[in-house]
């Protein structure tokens, strides 16, 4: 789906800025559109530039999702629900999001959840096991982990002899 992209001198200024923006950090279409609009590009020019950037691999939403997902798991300790929600808010296609979530490294993901739960459990001053569990469920839910993922992690942490 290669298009011929022609930009006049004025438009080329926007193209160059957008290329630089994409080269600095991985970006998605909606972020580039928003940035071009704040720079003053009209809708028609914005769409032409975004198309050019996609055609020339400055924008690749599959790559963007992979990097976004990995960084949110490793740095922010987010779960699948929160990652999916945030990617949808960036107007990424559902099939791209679903594919990215399917390809998460399960061992890394499970370890991240486990470590997050263990660290939080050790910081909660609560003697009542039910209240402790409820606080952990609330905390882990806010990070975007599913009820099943949370139950599995808490089963390991709260009810094993490894404690």
**Residues whose CB is less than 8 angstroms from the CB of residue 78 and which lie 6 or more positions away in sequence, other chains included:** 72, 86, 143, 144
> In this structure, are 73 and 111 located in the same domain?
no
Do 112 and 91 reside in the same domain of the chain?
A: no
The whole-number pLDDT of residue 2 equals 52
Find the helix packing angle between 9-24 and 43-55, rounded to 10°.
Answer: 50
How far, CA to CA in Å, does 141 sit from each of 33, 57, 76, 138, 158?
32, 36, 14, 5, 17
> Please, are residues 16 and 53 in contact by the beta-carbon 8 Å criterion?
no
Q: Which domain holds residue 136?
A: 106-158
Q: Residue 35's domain is classified under what CATH number?
A: 1.10.10.10
Question: 55 with 67, same domain?
Answer: no
Q: How many domains would you assign to the chain?
A: 3
Mean pLDDT, to the nearest integer, of 113-132?
93
| Predicted TM-score (pTM) of this structure | 0.87
Residue 3 has pLDDT above 70, yes or no: no
Residue 3, both tokens: 């298009």
Check whether 41 has a pLDDT greater than 50. Answer: yes
**Confidence band of 157 (pLDDT split at 50, 70, 90):** confident
């Amino acid at each position: 789906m290669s298009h011929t992209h022609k930009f006049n001198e004025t438009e080329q200024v926007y193209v160059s800025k957008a290329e630089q923006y994409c080269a600095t950090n991985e970006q998605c279409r909606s972020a580039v559109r928003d940035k071009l609009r704040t720079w003053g590009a009209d809708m028609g020019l914005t769409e032409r530039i975004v198309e050019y950037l996609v055609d020339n691999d400055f924008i690749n939403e599959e790559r963007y999702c992979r990097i976004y997902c990995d960084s949110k798991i490793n740095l922010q300790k987010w779960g699948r629900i929160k990652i999916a929600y945030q990617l949808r808010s960036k107007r990424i296609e559902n099939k791209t999001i679903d594919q990215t979530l399917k390809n998460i490294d399960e061992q890394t993901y499970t370890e991240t959840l486990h470590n997050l739960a263990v660290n939080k459990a050790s910081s909660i001053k609560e003697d009542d096991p039910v209240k402790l569990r409820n606080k952990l469920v609330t905390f882990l839910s806010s990070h975007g982990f599913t009820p099943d993922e949370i139950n599995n992690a808490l089963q390991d942490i709260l009810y094993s002899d490894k404690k």
